[in-house]
Amino acid sequence: MQKSVESTVQVTIDIVAKVSRESRSASNTVEISLTREIEELFVRNLDGNVVHVGSNIAPPFPIPNLRLNSIATFDPRNIYPRLYSTLQDPNLCDTLSAKIASEAEQVAAGPLNISLDVTLTPHRVVSSIDQLDEMEEEETCAICKEDLFSTGDHFSHLPNCSHRFHVDCIMPWLETSLTCPLCRTVVELED
């Protein structure tokens, strides 16, 4: 019987911005490149230390590159709806809108191109020793039966189920079978 482990997810958003004069057009543009990484973190409450136990390969964004053309103003109230119509994430859109406005303010008026390389890193935080111990007991690779967290190895979720495996174990499995080794859910891999 599997136990339910409560956790919270926090997201770190790292943004590298580059602003240049737009020479190809008379209007402002914004180009955004989005990537997602997952790093699992677990907090032990007694001493407050954070123990990193592994990384999970995250699925890519459905639209990893976004270009906004003909931007009249870099006011966040103007940028936010244009971002939200594609990204559908209020916190991400707020952060990006503010960053775009801040970058535009630092440069004199004129047609600008603002490029953002954005990396989102969700962190799952388990807030007690008991929860960490329960999770560590439950989390073994279904292929090699080794603990997912003991070595700090990379592990992965399959796209259509929540089971986890060491990347080095699941990749050879997927070369011969397109199902999850545990639940036999068909894995739909992108081309």
Ordered by where they begin, the domains of the chain are 8-138 (no CATH), 154-191 (3.30.40.10)
**pLDDT reported for residue 39:** 62
Pick the more confident residue, 163 or 97.
97
Q: What is the pLDDT of residues 106-145, one digit of tens each?
A: 887 778 999 999 988 877 666 554 554 555 545 677 778 7
Q: What does DSSP say about strands 38-43 and 50-57: parallel, antiparallel, or unpaired?
A: antiparallel
d(CA 78, CA 85): 12
Distance in angstroms between the alpha carbons of the first and the last residue of the chain: 36
